Structure 1
Amino acid sequence: MRRTREMRRLTDVFLAGDAQARFSSGDLRREANITNQRLATLLEVLRDRGWIAHGWGENAPGTPPYYVLTDVGRRELTD
């Protein structure tokens, strides 16, 4: 699969974390050096492919979502 430079930077951030790594959108934006609007688009693509999942913190209402790389995503991105 051909990936854009931005997509590669974003997926590299996910791959750098361990299997339980959780990333906030702010962390991903800073680490991948991409805009909020572009990040939202790329995250949607990754979710649609089943490569990432998202959730919310259990402790505080209104906590921003976090994103995790799925096992499928890790396999697909390391091939």
Structure 2
Amino acid sequence: MPTYKAVQGTRDILPESAPAWQVIEDTVRSVCERYGYQRIETPIIEETGVYARGVGAGTDIVEKEMYTFKDRGDTSLTLEPEGTAG
């Protein structure tokens, strides 16, 4: 049976460590709310121009770290390269 490992730069949150992560998330959420920040959620996929414009077309992120493909309508789409792009 093959063994699989998480993709580089990612990790699985398994049951034994999930409670600790939940405490961290709850603490961060509480601090953010206390200072007036509100939650936002952005798509994990966008038109490529959003990321190329946000991080710079000639950067390593755009040239080496983005997974880009075209949809059926020939629109260039990109998976979010990192949580801070744009």
Pairwise TM-score range, normalised by the shorter structure: 0.3 to 0.5
Give the TM-score taking structure 2 as reference length: 0.32
Give the TM-score taking structure 1 as reference length: 0.34
Q: Structure 1 or 2: larger helix share? A: 1
Select the structure of larger CA radius of gyration. 2
- Ranked by relative contact order (alpha carbons within 8 Å, sequence separation 6 or more), the top structure is 1
